[in-house]
Amino acid sequence: MNIENLNWKFISTINLILIIYLSFFIVPGNPNIPGFIPHLDKIGHFVLYGFQAISLSMYLRKHIFKNLNTIILIICFIVGLIIEYLQPVLTNDRIFDYFDIIANFTGVLTSLVLLNALIRKSSKY
């Protein structure tokens, strides 16, 4: 199975829906969700936004050639910023958190760097 032939548009959409669901409908500090790892949500932000960057990159790679990483970085940053802004507006138990934005941005940046390194390495062979 060639990874480039996966339906990256679908995968990216599902991941975005998951981000939105977790951002608005899962209550932080819920007793049903164990909190044994401090700041576990930041790891979640890092991973989910990192995967969003990868899935967007794999999808848009066929359509956009110039400034792809910058476009993806901006898209993910704006989506994260809008979600952070809307959380305290649309929910009673969420606050705007700059550290969530930093975790999002770091996940996106790390994923794009690693993805580009893998693509460069595989194109050498």
Model pLDDT, residue 65: 77
Model pLDDT, residue 32: 57
Model pLDDT, residue 48: 97
Per run of 10 residues, the mean pLDDT along the chain (length 125 residues) is 84 96 77 63 94 95 87 96 95 90 97 93 73
Identify the residue whose tokens are 């829906």.
17
C-alpha span between 86 and 76 (Å, rounded): 15
Model pLDDT, residue 111: 97
Sign of CA dihedral 75, 77, 83, 85: negative
Model pLDDT, residue 28: 60
Identify the residue whose tokens are 């990159």.
57
| pTM over cut 0.85 | yes
Model pLDDT, residue 2: 76
Would you list the domain boundaries of the chain? Answer: 3-23+39-124
